[in-house]
Structure 1
Amino acid sequence: MDSAVWASPKPELPCAACRTLHRKCSRDCTLALYFPAGEPEKFASVHKVFGASNVIKMLQMVDQEKREDAVKSMVYEANERLRDPVHGCTNAISYLQKCIQDLQLQLKRTREQLQEIQEHSNHLLTVLMDVPYQNPVYQL
């Protein structure tokens, strides 16, 4: 007999969400696009923090084209919540806001210094322009 007749197609692996939830992964699985089988830790952290039903509800509330970004945000927040259950990602946000404030202050100071240098340069140019031109006389 032909071996191709007995060969069955390799079943696709269920997505990480369905594997974690011990359910069959269908073709229209909402989570399959965002939690592939090769990245089970992504869904594990999100599931632990938010719960599977809440993740599905949140994804259904978001427009299709923005879901990937929503999943990235959920994964980030979940990982930060697991690392720091009290503050989550607010520590990172606070740190970045402080960095922005520091950089804005540094930019302000640099602009002030640039303004001072420009004013000094203009003053020197004015002084040089006011000095009457003197033709040196050479004595032989």
Structure 2
Amino acid sequence: MGGNSPCASCKLLRRRCAKDCIFAPFFPSDDPHKFAMVHKVFGASNVSKMLQELPIHQRADAVSSLVYEANARVRDPVYGCVGAISYLQNQVSQLQMQLAVAQAEILCIQMQQEPPLPSQQMEADERAFGIPENLNNIPQFINFASSSNVMQEPLKRESLWT
């Protein structure tokens, strides 16, 4: 910026904003909270060093990542982004399991609604495939979802290091 209004970083650090200020393109004066979070987590000196080591065309993406990580670290100082990613991965796994259960229930219902084979053909199929005459002896594994509470517990954060 260098002119009338200093960038958010120079305002926070109470210094004059030079014409070649490395922070000015990424931390405008109208969004001081953005730099305050990054400064609180990483420090202005570290951010400046990181930005100087990057090619100019990658700096905007780096600042975006730093802002995202800083906000995540403020919300969760221990895990930061990793905690959010882990939470979302667990949620995806749970939803995939619920989908598989629902698909199994749909398949079970579809199988129950199919018209029966003629009795002669059914008996031949039972002998050929070794299907017992009394199906009550088979464990009820297909309809397990309706009798249990699948994924009703709230998510618990687990340590990635244990």
Q: Compared with structure 1, are the counterparts of its residues 125 and 50 closer, same or farther at alpha carbon in structure 2 (3 Å cutoff)?
A: same
| Cα shift at 1:18 | 1.6
Q: Compared with structure 1, are the counterparts of its residues 126 and 17 closer, same or farther at alpha carbon in structure 2 (3 Å cutoff)?
A: farther
Distance 1:25 1:37 in 2: 11
Is residue 77 from structure 1 mapped to residue 69 from structure 2 by the alignment? Answer: yes
Unpaired stretches in structure 2, ≥5 consecutive residues = 119-162
- Highest CA radius of gyration, 1 or 2? 1
Partner of 1:124: 115
| Cα shift at 1:21 | 2.3
CA offset digits 1:16-60 (Å, max 9, x no partner): 012222332233322112211011111111112111122123334
Out of 24, 29, 36, which is 1:37 matched to? 29
Distance 2:99 2:25 in 1: 43
Q: Between Structure 1 and Structure 2, how many residues are aligned? A: 117
Give the secondary structure class of the aligned counterpart of 1:27.
Answer: coil
- Structure with higher helix content: 1
Give the secondary structure class of the aligned counterpart of 1:29.
Answer: coil
Give the secondary structure class of the aligned counterpart of 2:105.
Answer: helix
| Cα shift at 1:126 | 6.7
* TM norm structure 2: 0.57
Kindly provide the amino acid, as one letter, of the partner of residue 112 in structure 1: A
* TM norm structure 1: 0.64
Percent of aligned pairs with the same amino acid: 51
Out of 19, 28, 31, which is 1:27 matched to? 19
Q: Compared with structure 1, are the counterparts of its residues 35 and 126 closer, same or farther at alpha carbon in structure 2 (3 Å cutoff)?
A: farther
Unpaired stretches in structure 1, ≥5 consecutive residues = 1-10, 128-140
Distance 2:84 2:12 in 1: 29
